[in-house]
Structure 1
Amino acid sequence: MTPISVLAAGETANPLLPATYDIIWSAVCFAIIFFAFWKLVLPKFRDILDERAQAIEGGIEKAERVQAEADKALAEYQKQLADGRAEAARLRAEAQEEGAQILAEMKQNANDEAERIIAQAKAQIEAERQAAMVSLRGEVGGIATDLASRIVGESLRDDQRAANVVDRFIADLEAQTPAAQPVKEY
């Protein structure tokens, strides 16, 4: 029935409703397409979605494994860093101890050297003093003997008598001069 024949027949049909044969043929086509979609397209689509879900789950598991390994590596790195810092602190402490020990040894060596130099200087001063005393005794002895010979009027060239006169003269000189000042030590 065509729309013109429907109008001609005088029937009042709803223009929005298609004809019955159109509805039936449309339902048959829809069922065939639905069945083909259900059997052919939908399983492939499900397989693709399942593969994607497995890939995502595998990626998540892999990411969790990698994250766990990274956390483990970070903990190991932090442990090694702490060990390195402890080792550095220990080495610094040892270096400071060795430095203090070397400094103490150097001070001790300097003190020993200073004491050796002072002792050597004292020995040299004492030797020079003894040499000066011997020289002085000889010169003063000769002068004293000449002087005593002139005063006494007789020759004092006798060694024993001259030695006694010289010793007495030096003893008198030492008694008259103030005591020798002690050498200051620095």
Structure 2
Amino acid sequence: MPQFDITFYPSEVFWTLVSFALLFGLLKWLVLPRMAAILDARSRAIAEEINAARQQREEAERLKLDYRKQLDAASQEADRMFEESEARLRKQHRQMMEEWKADMKRREAAFREESEVTRQQAIREIRAEAAGMVVEATEKLIHEHVGKSEAEGFINEALEALEKEPAKPRRH
């Protein structure tokens, strides 16, 4: 085996050193600068992306704060509008109740007036009917003609007498 032969050592060492120097030079002046440039470019790109991400995060935080402020303002506006509408509804309800009460009072007064008119009319009709019955009864009893005005006088006297006497409880 020629590798282990001592006579070839100096030439092998020489060519090994030359190969190493060439490879070292080739790596140092051609490959390593390109790799360093690529790594620097990647480092710069990564740093730029990190900075961009940081800026975007800060912008997102600002937007988040702005949206939160807008949301709070909208919430306050909604609360204010709700309170205003609730107050307006209460006012309308109170006004409608007052109108209803006034209408009920008017209707009650009209009903009472109408009842009084009907009562007076019924009293007049009853008196007229009673006068007619008194005239007929008197004529039948005494066989004498009694005028309507005389009969009404008798009825009025009888009603006045009834009004003066205290009401007695009736037994049925």
The answer for unaligned runs of 5 or more in structure 2 is: 168-172
Residue in 2 aligned with 1:138?
A: 128
Aligned length: 166
Q: Is the 8 A contact 1:145 1:166 kept in 2?
A: no
User: Which structure: greater helix fraction?
Assistant: 2
The CA deviation at 1:73 is 1.6
**Cα distance change, pair 157–54 in 1 and its aligned pair in 2 (3 A):** same
Worse overlay, 119-128 or 75-84 = 75-84
Residue in 2 aligned with 1:26?
A: 16
Residue in 2 aligned with 1:60?
A: 50
Larger Rg: 1
2:73 paired with 1:73: no
TM-score (norm 2): 0.74
Q: How does 1:66-145 map to 2 (within 5 A)?
A: 66-141=56-131
The answer for unaligned runs of 5 or more in structure 1 is: 7-17, 179-186
Letter in 2 for 1:171: E
- Measure the CA separation in 2 of the matches of 1:70 and 1:158: 106
Q: Is the 8 A contact 1:141 1:162 kept in 2?
A: yes
Residue in 2 aligned with 1:48?
A: 38
2:170 paired with 1:170: no
Greater RCO, 1 or 2 (C-alpha within 8 Å, sep 6+): 1
- Measure the CA separation in 2 of the matches of 1:62 and 1:37: 35
- Measure the CA separation in 2 of the matches of 1:149 and 1:40: 157
- Measure the CA separation in 1 of the matches of 2:6 and 2:38: 53
**Cα distance change, pair 121–5 in 1 and its aligned pair in 2 (3 A):** closer
Q: Is the 8 A contact 2:131 2:148 kept in 1?
A: no
Residues 120-145 of structure 1: per-residue CA shift (max 9 Å, x gap): 11101110122123334434455566
Residues 21-68 of structure 1: per-residue CA shift (max 9 Å, x gap): 322232122112212221111111111111111101111111111111
**Cα distance change, pair 69–4 in 1 and its aligned pair in 2 (3 A):** closer
SS in 2 for 1:19: helix
- Measure the CA separation in 2 of the matches of 1:150 and 1:80: 101
**Cα distance change, pair 174–149 in 1 and its aligned pair in 2 (3 A):** farther
User: What is the root-mean-square deviation in Å for CA atoms of aligned residues?
Assistant: 3.4
